[in-house]
Chain A
Amino acid sequence: MRQSNQLNRREFLAAAGAVAVGAPYLIPSGVRGANERITTAHIGVGGMGGYHLGDMIERREKGQVNIAAVCDIDETRLAGALKKAGPGVQPYRDYRYILQRKDIDAVVIATPDHWHGVQTVHAAECGKHVYVEKPACCTIEEGKAMVAAAAKNKVSVQVGSQGRSEPEAYLAHRYLVNGNIGHISRVDCFHYPSPEDNNPVPDSDPPPELDWDLWLGPLRWRPYNKRHCHGTFRWLLESGGGQIRDRGAHVMSCAMWWMGADGTGPVAIEATGTHPTKGLWDSAVLMDVTYTFKNPDWVLTWRQMPDDQLPPAEERTGDEPGGKIVRPGYGAIYRGDKGEFIHWGGDGGTWAEKKARQWEPPAGAKDVYKSPGHKEDWFKGIRTGAKTIMNIEAAVGVANLCILGNLSFTLGRKLEWNQAKQTIVGDEQAQRIMSRPQRYPYHL
Chain B
Amino acid sequence: MSMQNKAVNELLAGIRDASDKVRTEAWLSAGKAGAAAVKPLAKVMTDGDLEIARAATRALWQIVRHTGRPGANEEKRAVEKELIELLSDDQPVPVRREVLWMLSEIAGRSSVKPVAELLRNAELREDARMALERIPAKGAAAALKTGFEAAPEDFKPNIAQSLRKRGQEVKGYPSQKLAPSKETNVKPL
The residues of A with any CB-CB pair to B shorter than 8 Å are 75, 78-79, 82-83, 86-97, 99-100, 122, 125-126, 200, 202, 211, 214, 220-221, 275-280, 282, 410-413, 426-429, 432-433, 435, 437-443
B152 at the binding interface (Cβ < 8 Å): no
Contact A122 B186 (CB under 8 A): no
Chain A, residue nearest B25 (CB): A277
Tell me if A91 and B186 are in contact (CB < 8 A): yes
> Is B24 touching A412 in the complex (CB atoms < 8 A)?
no
Considering only residues 163-189 of chain B, those with a C-beta below 8 Å from chain A are 175-189
Partner of B51, one of A221, A278, A438: A278
Q: Are A277 and B70 in contact (CB under 8 A)?
A: no
Chain A hits for B106, CB < 8 A: 429
Given contacts A75-B184, A411-B68, contact A96 B178 (CB under 8 A): yes
Contact B28 A214 (CB under 8 A): no
* Bound Cα distance A88, B188 (Å): 8
With both chains docked as a complex, state the minimum distance between the C-beta of B94 and any C-beta of chain A, in angstroms.
Answer: 9
23 contacts between A and B (CB under 8 A): A78-B186, A82-B188, A82-B189, A88-B189, A93-B183, A93-B184, A95-B180, A202-B50, A278-B23, A278-B54, A282-B58, A427-B70, A428-B68, A428-B70, A429-B65, A432-B105, A432-B136, A435-B134, A440-B158, A440-B161, A441-B161, A443-B161, A443-B177
Determine whether the beta carbon of B182 is less than 8 Å from that of A441: no
B119 CB to nearest A CB, Å: 13
Tell me which of B4-12, B38-46, B109-117, B124-132 binds A.
Answer: B124-132
Residue among A87, A214, A220, A413 making CB contact with B101, cutoff 8 Å:
A220
| Bound form: Cα–Cα A100–B179 in Å | 9
Asked if B130 and A433 sit within 8 Å, CB to CB, the answer is: no
Chain B residue numbers with a CB within 8 Å of A97 are: 180
Q: Which B residues lie within 8 Å of A88 (CB)?
A: 189
Which residue from chain B places its CB closest to the CB of A282 in the assembled complex?
B58
Residue pair A220, B127 in contact (C-beta under 8 Å): yes
Q: Is the CB of A437 within 8 A of B50?
A: no
Give Cα A220 to B70, complex, Å: 26
* B178 lies within 8 A of A126 (CB): yes
Do A432 and B189 contact each other (CB < 8 Å), given the known contacts A75-B184, A200-B51, A411-B69?
Answer: no
> Once the chains bind, are A426 and B70 in contact (CB under 8 Å)?
yes
Given contacts A100-B178, A202-B50, A432-B134, 8 further A-B contacts (CB under 8 A): A75-B185, A79-B186, A96-B180, A220-B101, A280-B54, A412-B66, A429-B106, A435-B134
A200 touching B50 in the complex, CB below 8 Å, given contacts A432-B104, A432-B105, A441-B157: yes
Is the pair A94, B161 in contact by a Cβ cutoff of 8 Å? no
| Residues of chain B within 8 A of A94, CB atoms compared | 180-184
Contact between A427 and B184 (Cβ–Cβ < 8 Å)? no
- Give the docked Cα–Cα distance between A439 and B177 (Å): 10
Q: How far is the CB of B49 from chain A (nearest CB, A)?
A: 11
Give the shortest distance, in Å, between A124 (CB) and chain B (any CB).
Answer: 11
Is B24 in contact with A275, judged by CB distance below 8 angstroms?
yes
Q: What chain B residues lie within 8 Å of A214 (beta carbons)?
A: 182
Q: Which residue of A lies closest to B135 (CB)?
A: A432
Give the one of A220, A438, A440 with max B CB within 10 A: A440
Determine the distance from Cα of A79 to Cα of B186 in the docked complex, in whole angstroms.
6
Q: Is the CB of A278 within 8 A of B20?
A: yes
CA of A277 to CA of B14, assembled, Å: 13
Closest A-chain residue to B176, C-beta based?
A441
Find out whether the CB atom of B126 lies under 8 angstroms from the CB atom of A221. yes
Contact A122 B177, beta carbon cutoff 8 Å: yes
